Structure 1
Amino acid sequence: MIVAFSVAPSTSDADGSVHDAVAAAVRVVRDSGLPNRTSSMFTEIEGEWDEVMDVVKRATEAVGRYSGRVSLVLKADIRPGHTGELDGKIGRLEKALETAAENNVE
């Protein structure tokens, strides 16, 4: 499964920044050893249900150390028997875009 999630404290420091808390969450994800990537809005992680959800829980707890209230947004692609989809889905998308460009399809 692939989970895309965003976790942040509901309160921030004086300038509205939440980067320290988010960095703590991303550190948990990266230390997990599971395939992952982080963009400006979400972190994606791939693995089995229990291991992925454990990482999401620990990342949320890490953010909780910065605030008494935490916001978590989560979206999951649950597809048993498939692995390598974190990169596979992007590869298929890029190929479709390339094919469309070659065929002058909009």
Structure 2
Amino acid sequence: MTNERKEDGDKGRSGSHEYINTVAAVAIAPSGAGEELSKYVAQAVGVIRDSGLKNETNAMFTNIEGDLDDVLRVVRDAALRLASQGHRTGVSLKLDIRPGFRNQMERKPQLVDELLSGQAQSER
């Protein structure tokens, strides 16, 4: 588990609390804005990308990794980007809160690949 676990006393960006690693899967979109929502989703994703937190966007969600407070703040800011335009805004959010760890957006898929590789070898 190299580079994924940090010391228990690791502080977040503000330095006022212990860093609590969080990986979030979030989908933010307005309701009643028509059939094509891409231009609205892009606005929310833009807020996330501008946050400086590690993120990646796929067909269904944007994944974000960082300190719990920072992740929640950026989800709020992204949702308010649409809500401030008068849109009823839906947010689907799933959080994986894992104190003491980092780089889980990279490590978790690597672990699955390693397990699948080992499984494929053992089936031969």
TM-score between the two structures when normalised by the length of structure 2: 0.78
Among candidates 40, 55, 79, match of residue 98 of structure 2: 79
The aligned runs of 1:64-103 (5 Å cut-off) are 64-103=83-122
CA displacement, residues 36-89 of structure 1 (integer Å, 9 cap, x when unaligned): 111110111001111111100011011224552011110000100100001110
> Considering only CA atoms, is the larger Rg found in Structure 1 or Structure 2?
2
Q: Is the 8 A contact 2:55 2:63 kept in 1?
A: yes
Aligned-partner SS, 1:70: strand
Aligned-partner SS, 1:83: coil
Q: Percent identity?
A: 37
In the other structure, the counterpart of 1:2 is 23
TM-score between the two structures when normalised by the length of structure 1: 0.91
Partner AA of 1:3 in structure 2: A
In the other structure, the counterpart of 1:17 is 36
Q: Which blocks of at least 5 consecutive residues in structure 1 are unaligned?
A: none
CA displacement, residues 8-38 of structure 1 (integer Å, 9 cap, x when unaligned): 001123xx00001100011111111111111
CA distance in 1, matches of 2:63, 2:92: 12
Aligned-partner SS, 2:60: coil
Q: Which blocks of at least 5 consecutive residues in structure 2 are unaligned?
A: 1-21
Provide the alpha-carbon RMSD of the alignment.
1.4
Aligned-partner SS, 1:40: coil
Determine which structure has the larger helix proportion and give its number.
Answer: 1
CA distance in 1, matches of 2:85, 2:40: 6
Q: Is the 8 A contact 1:9 1:66 kept in 2?
A: no
CA distance in 1, matches of 2:32, 2:86: 6
Number of aligned pairs?
A: 103
Partner AA of 1:24 in structure 2: Q
CA distance in 1, matches of 2:88, 2:67: 28
C-alpha deviation, 1:104, in angstroms? 1.4
